[in-house]
Amino acid sequence: MQLLNDVKLDFSDVLIKPKRSTLESRKDANLHRIFKFRHSNIQWSGVPIIAANMDHTGTYAMHVALFNYDMLTAICKFTKYVQVENAIQTIGLDTNLDEIVYDPQWICLDVANGYTERFMSFVEQMRKHEATKNSIIIAGNVCTPEATEQIILAGADIVKIGIGPGSVCTTRKMTGIGYPQLSATIECADAAHGLGGHIITDGGCVVTGDIAKSFGAGADFVMLGGMLAGHDECYGQVDGEHMTFYGMSSDTAQLLYYGEKQTYRASEGKTVSVPYKGSVSDTIEEILGGLRSACTYAGAKCIKDLPKCTTFVRVNNQLNTSLGNG
Q: Residue 225, exposed/middle/buried by CB under 10 A (0-12, 13-18, 19+)?
A: buried
- Tell me whether residue 169 is one of the annotated catalytic residues: yes
In order of 36, 61, 69, 90, 168, the CA distances from 84 in angstroms are: 20, 12, 15, 13, 28
CA distance 40 to 107: 11
Which is catalytic among the residues 76, 108, 143, 169?
A: 169
Hey, CA dihedral for 32, 38, 39, 41, is it positive or negative? positive
Report yes or no: 313 and 216 within 8 Å, Cβ to Cβ. Answer: no
- List active site positions: 169
